[in-house]
Amino acid sequence: MTILNQPRRRGEFLRGDIDPISFDTGTLLSGQNLQAGTVLGQITNATAVAVAGTNTGNGVMGAVTVGPNAVPGVYTLRITAAAANAGAFTVTDPMGDIVGTGNVAQAHNNGSLSFTLADGATDFVVGDSFTITVTGSNQWRQLNLTATDGSQRAAAILYDNEDATGGARTVTLVTRHQELGLSDLIFPAGITTPQLTTALAQLTAQQLIARA
């Protein structure tokens, strides 16, 4: 008896209503042949730093490195304690949550961003602040848990079967406000239970809710 395997259908992993607000388009990077329901990561490796207001202190931010937990958007560093040739600060993410605390003139790494805020000739005062913008490139690849370019964070679901082995192509992505069938999602081979829990939490933060 011949066994026929039906290919995946576009959007078959969706449990909720088809809502245009849930969809975006992006560039699937070359060399990938992926099925509908594949969990994707976004390349997020560009940053820009600016003074958020009119600072009293004239210290400057060193080079910023994007970490594995970074999300696109504007982070804010705010001085919370002043001291001669020193000071303390907090870092909030684009959702307004504090993701780290640190000290002026000391290396800082909160998992999302790493940098050193240098002390200047004029000390910082409480309320001085900087913004750090993490820019998503709108380039996507299958979730890669060992990457450091942003694609190690679950950020979208591929809507249809897409073959980009011959070159990058524009594809439809499910990025927000959807209920998903957990068993229909495709995660990287060998993903561990803690890694799966983290990936699902990252999707939930975008209101992509996976249910068994």
Q: pLDDT tens across 113-155, in order? A: 999 999 999 999 999 999 999 988 899 999 999 998 889 999 9
pLDDT, mean of residues 39-60: 92
Tokens for 65? 């490195």
Poorest-confidence range of 6-10, 27-31, 42-46, 190-194?
6-10
Q: Nearest Cα to 72, choosing from 138, 23, 128? A: 138
Percentage of the chain modeled with pLDDT above 90: 77
Q: Nearest Cα to 158, choosing from 17, 23, 27, 38? A: 38
pTM over 0.85? The answer is no
Tokens for 55? 């600072």
